[in-house]
Amino acid sequence: MPMKLIILALLALMIIAPLAAPQSYAQDKTHDFRNTRWGMSPAQVKLTENGTPVSETGLPPYDLAISYRGKYEGLDAEIGYLFTNDKLLLGGYAVTNKYEDPRQYVKDYEKIKGALSAKYGNPASDEKVWSAGEQEAAPDAYGKAVTEGRLIFQTAWHTPETEIFLTLEGGNVNTILSVLYYSVKFNPRVEERKLKQELEKF
C-alpha cells in the first residue's frame, strides 16, 4: 500500500517528536518541501510533480494524503503530501530500500543527516533513544538494535516555517527511515506542541 510507510513514519514521529527542542536556521525562501510551499492546494502540488500519484486517500487527522514513488538522496522512496482544508501542511519521504545487513540502514541515515545538515545547518537535536532496560551497544551493533526495535535514531532541524525530523526506527518487521517536514503555521500538531511548551513555562 503506497502510503503505508509514510503512515508508520508519522506514528513513530508522534512518539519521538517531543524530544526536539526549538531552534531556528536559515530557510529556503523559495520552497518548503520539494517544489512546494505550505498552504498550496492538492491541484497546485500535483503540478509540481512529473509523475502520477500512486495513492490519494484520507489519513485522519488529515483530510487527504497524496503519494508518489521516487528517489531521495539516491534511495528509493515514497513521497507523501498531506492536506487539511485543501492546504498542504506536511510532506515526507519514507525510504523503501531493504537490506540484509542492518548496518546499511544506519549508513543511509547518516548519509541523509549529512545532506540535511548541509542544507539547514547543525541540528536542533540529535538523539539515540534506547528502549527501557537496554544498555547502549557499540556503534557496530546499532543497525541490529534498530531492526529489532531496541534503538531509535532521530535528528531534528527547525526553520521559521518548517520543522524537519529524520527518523530511523524498526521492529514489527518494518525498518523505517523517514524524513518528515511539518508546516509551523498550518500543522495542528506543531501548534499543539508549542502550546504545551508555553504551558510548561508556568
Residue 138's domain comprises: 4-200
Q: For the chain of 202 residues, list the mean pLDDT of each consecutive stretch of 10.
A: 51 44 49 96 96 91 92 95 94 94 97 97 94 84 94 94 94 87 82 56 45
Distance CA 150, CA 71 (A): 28
Domains of the chain: total: 1
pLDDT for 16:
44
pLDDT of residue 22: 41
Give the up-direction half-sphere exposure of residue 74: CA atoms within 13 A in the CB hemisphere.
5
